Amino acid sequence: MGPCCVRVTMTKGRSCWCDVVLMSICRSSTCTSNGLVAGIQSQYFPAVLDREWQFYCCRYSRRCPYSCWKTTDVPEYYREEGEMVIPSYGYFIRGAQTTFSGVLRDRQWKYILCRMTDFDCAFQNF
């Protein structure tokens, strides 16, 4: 899928990597290692008339997600344009769930939004 799949270590405790390939009828995924979604890329496959999606994830120090929840469907109905604005300051995109309609050849998304701790934590929070 391109250059996204190279692990990159950044300064001040931040590291980034490519993670999570979403390509199925219904799938929910979050960034590994308590990461947050910092970018998204996709590749279209004509043979299946669908896309493969991959997250570019970053972890900041040893912060952990908490108070996570899923948004409503984006778009609300298949074959509509979708838009999502994070509804509250201090929330970050941690992952997503996608549902695919084989009949309509379209997807809906629910984004997983979380807050992040202000302190380092020593555990993996799923």
Contact 74, 97 (CB under 8 A): no
Q: What's this model's pTM, rounded to 2 decimal places?
A: 0.80
The whole-angstrom separation of Cα 31 and Cα 22 is 12
pLDDT at 57: 92
The tens-digit pLDDT sequence of the chain (126 residues) is 444 555 555 556 678 989 867 777 668 888 988 899 999 888 888 988 888 888 899 988 778 899 999 999 999 999 999 998 888 888 999 999 999 898 999 999 999 999 998 888 876 554
Delimit the domains of the chain by residue range: 3-116
